[in-house]
A = this chain, B = another copy of it.
């Protein structure tokens, strides 16, 4: 219960920090509704299901906040805030096929409800539709960023799939996968607003770096949560990463400290998805008492610090201050 209250508090803080763009966020929701209303019924059902599953809309909110910081007042921010969330949605839909997951955000996954057939296709449709939405307004530079991010995300997923179930994954490879899989879409999300006006183009690189650090922080915290949060908070079983053979930083840091029985037991879970010679509680206990979670939190904090440092080069004002707060809130989730 304490966890839920804490999570509600953080959600409220998140809403406060994005307060100045809440009206715009409603425009983005209206954009989704129009998109779905015009789509084929299967697209409407599957994409609607995932879009309505209680995602935090972090990427659209960041894009709108940064647009506001850069003094952009036009309508393209609504379109691209929607596009980055739709790209994210497409990856979630395809990820659930890949992971053969049954639950996401506490509800059955789309492929669980509609099968692999429909979900492969709806993911494909969303990716293409996102390109179409860029082409409608002819923003080649924005497309370049988004296509680049999508390619790298897919490459990150492919690399992750290659090392799935292998507990000998090294830290450098883990970081490379995380950078591509998560950080690049955050980077594009933050940098796209700089492309809306010639006068803000020079902020592109800083915003890309800011986004990468926020993305890294976000993912490291997610990796911690998989070992600390409750099933209710996660909306999926705890230790989902390990069960799916996804070896993340907490485990990479833990492994050198284990004896051979523990190692073999964890390797077995990563390989088979089933707990055998070690049980769930032993794994949780090992991770939680070893100090590795604090170490991962420190890495996440360092990423948040680097993100905050980047903001110094950006236009002063309440939005810049909000970006600093966002970095802190992303980190706070791990407590």
Q: Which A residues have a C-beta under 8 Å from some C-beta of B?
A: 40-43, 94, 97-98, 116-118, 120-125, 127-129, 131-132, 135, 138, 140, 143-144, 147-148, 150-151, 154-155, 157-159, 161-162, 164
| Residue numbers in B under 8 Å from A151 (CB-CB) | 125, 128-129, 132
Contact indicator B124/A98 (Cβ below 8 Å)? no
Q: How many copies does the complex hold?
A: 2
| Residue numbers in B under 8 Å from A143 (CB-CB) | 131, 135, 143
Closest to A115 in B: B161
Tell whether A128 pairs with B154 under 8 Å between CB atoms, given A116-B97, A120-B97.
yes
CB distance from A269 to the nearest CB of B (A): 18
Tell whether A132 pairs with B158 under 8 Å between CB atoms, given A94-B124, A116-B98, A124-B127.
no
Contact indicator B155/A40 (Cβ below 8 Å)? yes
Closest to A126 in B: B154
Contact indicator B117/A131 (Cβ below 8 Å)? no
| Residue numbers in B under 8 Å from A42 (CB-CB) | 158, 161-162
Contact indicator B123/A124 (Cβ below 8 Å)? yes
Q: In whole angstroms, what is the CA distance A175 to B118 when docked?
A: 20
Q: In whole angstroms, what is the CA distance A151 to B128 when docked?
A: 6
| Residue numbers in B under 8 Å from A131 (CB-CB) | 131, 143, 147
Closest to A99 in B: B117
Contact indicator A98/B127 (Cβ below 8 Å)? no
CB distance from A181 to the nearest CB of B (A): 11
| Given A42-B161, A117-B161, A124-B157, 11 other A-B residues pairs in contact with their CB atoms under 8 A | A40-B158, A94-B124, A97-B116, A98-B116, A121-B157, A121-B161, A125-B158, A132-B148, A135-B143, A138-B140, A140-B140
| Residue numbers in B under 8 Å from A147 (CB-CB) | 128, 131-132, 135
Tell whether A94 pairs with B116 under 8 Å between CB atoms, given A140-B135, A144-B135, A147-B128.
no
Contact indicator A98/B125 (Cβ below 8 Å)? no
* CB-contact partner of A98 in B98, B121, B154, under 8 A: B121
| Residue numbers in B under 8 Å from A132 (CB-CB) | 147-148, 151
Contact indicator A43/B118 (Cβ below 8 Å)? no
Q: In whole angstroms, what is the CA distance A138 to B138 when docked?
A: 11
CB distance from A311 to the nearest CB of B (A): 30
Of A116, A117, A155, the most chain B CB neighbours within 10 A belong to: A117
Q: In whole angstroms, what is the CA distance A147 to B137 when docked?
A: 14
Contact sample, A vs B, 23 pairs, CB 8 Å cutoff: A40-B155, A42-B161, A94-B121, A94-B124, A97-B117, A97-B120, A98-B121, A116-B116, A117-B164, A118-B158, A118-B161, A121-B157, A121-B158, A121-B161, A125-B155, A127-B127, A128-B151, A128-B154, A131-B131, A131-B143, A132-B147, A132-B151, A140-B140
